[in-house]
Amino acid sequence: MIDESNRAITERSWTEFLAVLIAAAGFALLGDFAPIGIAGGVAIGLLWLTLPVIYAVALGHLLVVALTVDGFETLAIAVAELGLFGMLVAAIPTFYDRGAVTSMTVFVFGLFVFVFGIAFVSSEALWIGALALVVVGALVAYGMHRYELVSLDLVEGAT
């Protein structure tokens, strides 16, 4: 297992940088391009540069909640979450099986688009929006749980 806490700034990849830019754009959309949304994007970028990626993703989810208090648009949340998810995927060390990482990424991204698509199309039905929120929340929680287990090297016989 690679210890990401000692990873130098020069080891950040361009895919991680692209994901940070997407997340920052999502936060700017969530904040309606007000200074608070732009500051959230800058905070994510600075945290990404100085600490392991998991901290930037955690702060990003807190910012999503903080910026959606007064209402939100589904597209803005989708862009912000896509950037945060991309940060996690881009930070996966290269010694993992690329095929497994790629197939899991495509599956999770497809599921993400499908659930948000259903919620967006039928946004008038409250129960569908609530169900989509529960499904995405459960999947994100499980994904973060697994990521923590792997990053803390608590998984035996990982494939």
Q: Does a structural domain hold residue 74?
A: yes
Q: Does a structural domain hold residue 76?
A: yes
Q: How far is CA 23 from CA 35, 82, 103, 140, 150, in A?
A: 16, 7, 22, 16, 23
Q: Does a structural domain hold residue 136?
A: yes
The range of the structural domain enclosing residue 41 comes to: 4-151
Q: Does a structural domain hold residue 157?
A: no
Count of domains observed in the chain:
1
Q: What is the pLDDT of residue 6?
A: 47
Q: Does a structural domain hold residue 158?
A: no
Helix ranges restricted to H, 10-52: 14-30, 35-50
Q: What is the pLDDT of residue 21?
A: 92
Classify residue 157 as left (phi > 0), alpha (psi -120 to 50) or beta.
Answer: left
Q: What is the pLDDT of residue 42?
A: 92
Whole-number Å distance between alpha carbons of 103 and 126:
32
Q: Does a structural domain hold residue 102?
A: yes
Q: What is the pLDDT of residue 96?
A: 58
Q: What is the pLDDT of residue 93?
A: 60
The series of mean pLDDT values per 10 residues for the chain, 159 residues long, is 46 81 90 86 90 86 82 80 85 60 69 70 67 76 77 69
Whole-number Å distance between alpha carbons of 155 and 17:
28
CA dihedral sign, ordered 67, 68, 74, 80:
positive
Q: Does a structural domain hold residue 156?
A: no
Q: Does a structural domain hold residue 108?
A: yes
Looking at the chain, how many residues does it have? 159
